[in-house]
Copies of this chain bind each other. A is one copy, B any other.
Amino acid sequence: MQKSYIIKIDCPDEKGLVYKVSRVLCENDINIIANREFVDLENRRFFFRAEIAGVLDIDNLKSELHKTLKNSANISVSKKEKKNIVLLCTKEAHVLGDILIKHYSNELNANILAVISNYNLLEPLVRKFDIPYYHISHEGLSRVEHEKKILECLREFEVDFIVLAKYMRILTPEFVSHYRNRIINIHHSFLPAFIGANPYKQAYNRGVKIIGATAHIVNDNLDEGPIIAQDIIRVDHTFGWKDMQMAGRNVEKTVLSTALGLALEEKIFINGNKTIIF
């Protein structure tokens, strides 16, 4: 039976790559529903994503593509289906709640396997939706010890993406290395403005007329990972920093929701410290 799949390829650029890929697809009687290609001319790198339909064996197709392309090519082929995610949070309910409601209404293209938090504050909310909640307190633990406990908990699940739904702790490079390019964070400013703590206070003190939110892939450096999505709202002199914080919550939800949607549909490529979004 015909099914839908997503192919993602990135490799050093050379002539004829689209031809090579499309020939493999054509010979396997696979139809391209939509595709996008982009060549980063500065770094001479080729990025290709296609939604395809056909009857196919994923491993066979990957192997044929690998034979056709250089060995150095990153190739993924996956069925269009729900991904598995785990949410990390701290105390704020708005981003978490937004994802829970979407999940409850069957609007999220993902299964929420668990919520993990260093506080128990949000447990009653998560329990309402019959999702496992793991309270892993950081108190009395070093950062490494705390992360070790979280990693143990995460190992129980086959996780596609970890979503930091206002998780207010810094992750070590060691932790990040276990889920390279699969941890998505929402930062409550239009990065790179207002890196670090209390962006709304920083924004208030600077007197900006726009505040924003940034969803990004977490890498080894705080607030410096590849940016997936950003959006802004307008503020004025009548906003104290708490008003900015409250107003910013809508845009935090929207931006993380957008970024998570792109991740779940496999529309994100990592290109050095940037993203390519198809």
Taking beta carbons and an 8 Å cutoff, which residues of A are in contact with B?
Answer: 15-19, 22-23, 25-26, 29-42, 92-94, 97-98, 100-102, 104-105, 107, 125, 128-129, 190-194, 206-210, 212, 226-232, 234, 236-238, 240, 246, 249-251, 253-254, 257-258, 271, 273-277
Contact = CB atoms under 8 A, between A and B. Distances in A.
Given A210-B212, A226-B207, A97 B105 contact: yes
5 A-B pairs closest in CB distance: A207-B274, A97-B101, A19-B22, A193-B193, A19-B26
B26 A15 contact: yes
Given A19-B19, A227-B207, A38 B276 contact: no
A23 B15 contact: no
B101 A274 contact: no
Contacts of A125: 101, 104
B33 A36 contact: no
15 contacts: A17-B32, A35-B36, A94-B101, A107-B246, A207-B227, A207-B275, A208-B227, A208-B230, A209-B229, A209-B230, A236-B277, A237-B271, A237-B274, A250-B254, A254-B254
A41 B240 CA distance: 10
A232 B257 contact: no
Contacts of A249: 107
Contacts of A26: 15-16, 19
A107 B105 CA distance: 22
Given A22-B23, A191-B193, A209-B228, 5 more contacts: A15-B31, A19-B23, A101-B125, A209-B230, A237-B276
A39 B238 CA distance: 9
Given A210-B190, A254-B250, A32 B37 contact: yes
Nearest to A271: B237
Contacts of A237: 38, 40, 271, 274-277
A122 to B, nearest CB: 9
A16 B206 CA distance: 30
Contact of A257 (B97, B234, B250, B277): B250
Contacts of A38: 34, 237-238
A92 B105 CA distance: 8
A40 B239 CA distance: 10
Contacts of A210: 190, 212, 230-232
A25 B32 CA distance: 18
A125 to B, nearest CB: 7
Contacts of A42: 240
Contacts of A234: 234
